[in-house]
Chain A
Amino acid sequence: MVKQLGFILDTNRCLGCGACIKACQIKNQLPSPLKWRQLRQIEKGDKSQIQRFFLSTACNHCANPECLRVCPSGAYYKRRDGIVLHNPEKCTGCQSCVGSCPFGAPQLNPLTQKAGKCQLCYDRLDQSKSPYCVQACLTSALQLHEIRQAENNQLLRLTAQTPSLRLTRPSVFYKPPRPTEL
């Protein structure tokens, strides 16, 4: 692999507005309520400060993708730029990937009865355009980077707390939130 593309989310800039999710849904013509990107609100704090932030997550385009490992029909492959691609033509809809991805990225499309997930808008990247989610982000909180070149001393892999998650080596980083002083 030459590169590893991945999302970096600055939680200080993410408003939780969901424009990324909607743009993905609309442009990829996903049948509602199917979403390839999810939003979680996280809150922690005490009497003097509070951290309320959002995590907008999609496929993590892992370095060691579990979906690719378990797929019996070879529907997954990893591009030289690190994108984990799912090929619906090869997919039989067995849902092995749906059950095994620790992040719940692949989901069954109820219309096609095949799995599907964020393909990182690879066709747009090939035309030097941003993924739809990144393009839609109003505050530039969500960005796409070559992860191995990104300065990641200020970044967190928030998903790495569970050992099993570490094994897939997700290619997603977060800039940790500043607290709001009370």
Chain B
Amino acid sequence: MYQTHGNICPRNCYDTCSIRSTTRNGILISVEGDSLHEYTKGKLCPKALEDVKKVYSLKRIRYPMKQRGRFSGYWERISWDEALNLIAGKILRLKEEYGSALPLALNKYSGNFGVLHNAMEGLFSGLGPTTRAIGSPCWSAGVDAQTYDFGTFFCSDPLDMGKSQLIWLWGVNPAWTAVHQMPILLNAMDRGAKVVCFDTYFSATAARSSRFIQVRPGTDGLLALGFSKVIVEENLLDPDLGSYALGHEEFIQYLRRDIDLNHCAEITGVPVKTIRELAVDYAKTHPACIWAGFGLQRYTNGGQILRAIDALGALTGHIGEPGGGVQYGQFQTWQFAGQLQSLHPKQTTKSNGLLKSAASDKENREDRLLSINNFAEQALQCSDPPVKMLWISGRNPLSQDGNLHLWKALIQSLDLIVISDLFHSMSSKAADLFLPVTTHYEHWDLHASYWHYWVGVNEPAIAPVGESRSDLQIAWAVSHRMNQLAPGSCAFPTGGDERETLLKELGPDMLEILGLETPEEIFNGPVRARFPATAWENRRFKTPSGRFEFGSAMAEASGLPAFPVYRPPLSPPGEFPLRLLTPHHPTTINSQVYTLETEKEHFIFHLSPDVAERYALKTGERVLIWNKLGKLEGIVQIENRLPLEAVILYQEPVKSNVPLNSLMGTPNTDMGNLSLGAPGFALNETFVNLRKLNSFAPIS
């Protein structure tokens, strides 16, 4: 018997697609895009197309497993009963020994962005004050930058971009990372709109654009300031600026005084003539839109880069213009009730899945908050009491964090490491217990996007594979066992109904945003939040002044310059002259792999002909890249229009026991504290050296 269900792809991705899945006699047989969804439009990206294989993959872990010795690979199947006893017993012993739950740490992020996955935060809140990873490895600097400028972080409905006459794609590669935006862009081009792609390398999106501008890594902020300088010189400012902006006079003075176009051209690599031409075109074309990507702000000056781009949009009157604006992302559609992760729902202000529950974490003031980007380092410094147990959920820090040697040290100091996941990972190698979780085809959930305005329910299409359980079921079960062993030891619910729990997350705020009378109406299908299509269309901003703040007192209060300024990125240290850039690859989302068969044999280092010539390298030759933290072997591939001083290494699946992040420290971005509680990961500030390997030497 055939049945169809509505699912939502839960990945850390712009598109958050609505899926129609088909089952036959309880077996998932196919998935396709939901044709009724305005953004997904019946299409899925190649990553999601293989979901059926992924759900039933032989590599999927179906039972709770215990590893005899960390990194031994000797895993044995255990029962849930035994797993829960081990976890609950350890928690109780630690609480008794230290008189506090602070030795218990949770490190969770974006493996699955479903709202019900906040059950893990809820479970930890139920244990008492614990140690938590907060912040985001992804987008923190940009989120703060837009918060200073606009007052909150919001973008237009992505369909609004279709109205634009000129679209600047700045450090974003939707052809690989937000495929559903591409038809909107291509349709705009077919109607005569011009698309200019700014990036450090000629990307798949650049190849579909009208024009490509190569910018030196980390200098985009200066380029934006250069454009603004031209706009001031040419007197192309929005005449209404005075009615909705604050501090533009000082900013304009700064541009006049401190920004020199020749210097700007020298640093950014974009000739003065091109800067002038592009700036005038941008100022004179209406509507004109900028889409600023996340990679753009993964620098130590990332927040300033975004603020400079926002300022350019505001100077020219493009902010608030239908088809215009500076788009980065949003979490206005994430105003869920937050009941799951909070112990005191009635006192809860709005919580937010993407904010890493910073709001509820802050309420629970005694929690010990560690930056997700410096987690191992900060956890090692915790002494009173030390961190003794770690739960990793929806994350793979031993692949994706920096300073992995500190992780190794942290692992040694921990009594118990629990990981809940679908597959083994670099991180599960260090775990003592592996708890198998359900995919989004096996549980109820609720999803919003950080890009489009749609919110919807994910229904289970099939029974859980093997003995896998959802995060919510796991959290209930742990609480249940804790309360059996020591009544009152965990305040999180000990059981319940997933569907009911989901409905409780649709509080009055969300119902209003979605235009629903009752929470149950969400089961009728995905709903578009009732925001106007254009962000800031009335130019009434959420800043303290209600204006677009070129000059931000909030920024100043955080110890930052009041208005956007040029801050250079890090310079390569002498012995490591090449910047390492690690952009997303179409087959993966960070360490989550979707193409099940094409694991590469070697890392591929993409070099510009200039770099290759300097090191006397040819395509196909074996090289070593290294720095003080680590080394990686791989194969050279020479390509035109790559950065002159960099190595590009895509995040694609490679058969290697050493993750590419073994080369990374943890440089922080300049912003992120305000919205996310911690700065972001400036991972594009990684530097390496390169040397040719003897082709006869064995690959170690």
Interface residues of A (CB under 8 A from B): 12-13, 15-19, 22-23, 26-27, 32-33, 45, 50, 52-53, 135-140, 178, 180-182
Contact = CB atoms under 8 A, between A and B. Distances in A.
Contacts of A16: 175, 204
B179 A15 contact: yes
B86 to A, nearest CB: 39
B212 A180 contact: yes
Contacts of B208: 12-13, 15, 180
11 contacts: A12-B189, A17-B176, A19-B46, A33-B597, A50-B640, A139-B182, A178-B210, A180-B206, A180-B208, A180-B211, A182-B641
Contacts of A138: 43, 45, 179-180, 182-183
Interface string B312-337: 00000000000000000000000000
Contacts of B176: 17
Nearest to A16: B204
Contacts of A23: 49
A50 B202 contact: yes
Contact of A19 (B44, B197, B597): B44
Interface string B145-181: 0000000000000000000000000000001100110
Given A138-B180, A138-B183, A180-B209, A15 B175 contact: yes
A52 B640 CA distance: 11
A148 to B, nearest CB: 25
A22 B46 contact: yes
A136 B44 CA distance: 7
- The 8 tightest CB contacts between A and B, nearest first, are A52-B207, A181-B211, A15-B175, A138-B43, A19-B46, A22-B49, A139-B183, A138-B179
B593 interface: no
A178 B176 CA distance: 20
A1 B183 CA distance: 35
B51 to A, nearest CB: 10
B186 A13 contact: yes
Given A16-B204, A138-B179, A180-B208, 4 more contacts: A12-B189, A22-B50, A136-B43, A138-B43
A17 B186 contact: no
A68 to B, nearest CB: 32
A53 B207 contact: yes
Contacts of B207: 50, 52-53, 180
A52 B201 CA distance: 13
A13 B175 CA distance: 10
A7 to B, nearest CB: 18
Contacts of A140: 183
Contacts of A178: 210
A135 B206 CA distance: 25
Contacts of B667: none
B27 to A, nearest CB: 15
A181 B212 contact: yes
Interface in B39-67: 42-46, 49-50, 52-53
B464 interface: no
